[in-house]
A and B are shown apart, each in its own frame.
Chain A
């Protein structure tokens, strides 16, 4: 008997939703303190839905801007960033922010550069890789594999990362711009962290993207419509036309713009929820709960686990890699990253890892509902790009203490200028990746189009 494909897809989508609900109830049944884990899981699910809906990928932001001159995603992430920064600044005034800045130094730039190359090769950033994994994209599975295990090996092997932390990174300054405006009282967060660190740079970047990339095409269309209505003569663009052009650029992809605003708001609600749960439970890190419940071998020597309190991607994936490798008999705790800082919790006790799983499930759910889910096994070419890209992203993320989310989106929104260094590095890396892809696609097209009457 043939099963209606639409019914089949919806069956799987509702099954995932059912699994999410049953898992949440099971956690509550085990211990009400586990609602902390459930919160992370559901925020991940929401991020996954929004990213898949908005095709929200930071790799696409730089890559499409550079490679094909499309500003859609670049603008989308700037919208999300501006929205989130405002929400986060308001939360900070109420002592409801979980944000903490990261070490500020050139490692952000170098990490961003490696990460930018990797995301271009893999066809998705760290968060994009998760939502595309949920779409059934096999290349992203390999990229994820690369991110997970390159990090785990990089922080554990040879003692380099320990030396990097103690000899360099721990000595770097921790800065949020609000600290330079103590006289402004609670308004220092809005002025320093949001307006100066985010809103003004976002406006500058939007204007630059318009004038350097988008204006030519938009103005051509605007002038064509003007010519049609005018009585002859060549119309000249006015300031009003440019204002209209910028607006057209921002709203060119409504679903990306909507997803950007919603992601900014949800990221803020996430921070608020985790901080509220911390106040409720009298903790500042989930490791304290695990220690209290007797899971002493899952936490670090400081009784902590990685628990950022906001959207994050790569560190929990590094923990998962370590958890797997530990089960293969490798000692993963004789280093600062796992042993002292982050611990190696079991996946079901790892709050941000549940968020990552939630992203995959959320993306899979909406992709199934919209008939965009497809299991796609990569060919050899894509498999190499995916794996290589994942390895670059993993190493880049460790050097920069995060990925496109943890080292850029969260840091910049929280008022930490170090995130902009990572963003610049990402852009430079994407430029390198695009140049490499241009060479590769030209080479392929030259052979595939050789039999046709086309100038090559």
Chain B
């Protein structure tokens, strides 16, 4: 798991290689820790986590700024509500 701060309000969480429940759990916990309005970019390659992370974002009312796939890698850019 790699976590880095890209700029003042943007963070990146790279959980490639991790399987359930790690990607969704780390995403949720990181979103809980950053400030409202900050942006979290999540990169993962566990297909099952896509549905769970998508549901998590919708449930908590965060905003998806970008959602793409590059090969087997999934990418979410999320703005915290």
Contact = CB atoms under 8 A, between A and B. Distances in A.
Question: Do the two chains belong together in a single complex?
Answer: yes
B65 interface: no
B68 to A, nearest CB: 13
Contact of A63 (B21, B26, B55, B58): B21
Contacts of A456: 33
Nearest to B45: A374
A68 B52 contact: yes
A217 interface: yes
Given A63-B20, A371-B71, A445-B26, A132 B48 contact: yes
A40 to B, nearest CB: 25
Interface string B13-57: 000011111101110111001100000000001111011100110
A437 B21 contact: yes
B20 A123 contact: yes
Contact of B51 (A256, A437, A445, A454): A256
Given A124-B20, A220-B61, A444-B1, A253 B33 contact: no
A135 B49 CA distance: 13
Interface residues of A, number: 54
A372 B47 contact: yes
Interface core residue of B20, B24, B71 (most chain A CB under 10 Å)? B20
A382 B15 CA distance: 12
Contacts of A441: 22, 25-26, 29
B22 A70 contact: no
Interface in A38-67: 52, 55, 57, 59-60, 63-64, 67
B17 A379 contact: yes
Contact of B60 (A5, A217, A255): A217
A63 B52 CA distance: 11
A64 B17 CA distance: 19
A221 B60 CA distance: 10
B20 A57 contact: yes
Contacts of A70: 24, 52, 55-56, 59
A371 B72 CA distance: 6
Given A124-B20, A441-B22, A68 B56 contact: yes
B49 to A, nearest CB: 9
Contacts of B11: 452
A365 to B, nearest CB: 14
Interface string A340-374: 00000000000000000000000000010001111
A60 B20 contact: yes
Given A220-B61, A221-B61, A253-B55, A67 B1 contact: no
Nearest to B11: A452
A434 B2 CA distance: 21
B34 to A, nearest CB: 6
Given A140-B19, A367-B47, A445 B55 contact: no
A435 interface: no
A220 B71 CA distance: 35
B55 A454 contact: no
Interface in A431-456: 434, 437-438, 441-442, 444-445, 448-449, 452-456
A247 to B, nearest CB: 15
Contacts of B5: 452-453
A438 to B, nearest CB: 8
Contact of A60 (B17, B30, B48, B60): B48
Given A64-B24, A441-B25, A69 B59 contact: yes
A252 B58 contact: yes
B19 A382 contact: yes
A75 to B, nearest CB: 10
Nearest to B81: A220
A445 B34 CA distance: 12
Contacts of A379: 17
A448 B3 contact: yes
A411 interface: no
8 contacts: A59-B20, A67-B25, A72-B52, A220-B61, A221-B61, A373-B72, A378-B19, A445-B3
Interface of B: 1-3, 5, 11, 17-22, 24-26, 28-30, 33-34, 45-48, 50-52, 55-56, 58-61, 71-72
List the 9 closest pairs (A to B, CB-CB), nearest first: A217-B59, A123-B20, A70-B55, A55-B48, A123-B19, A374-B72, A372-B47, A68-B28, A448-B3
Interface of A: 5, 52, 55, 57, 59-60, 63-64, 67-73, 120, 123-124, 132, 135, 137, 139-140, 214, 217, 220-221, 252-253, 255-256, 367, 371-374, 376, 378-379, 382, 434, 437-438, 441-442, 444-445, 448-449, 452-456
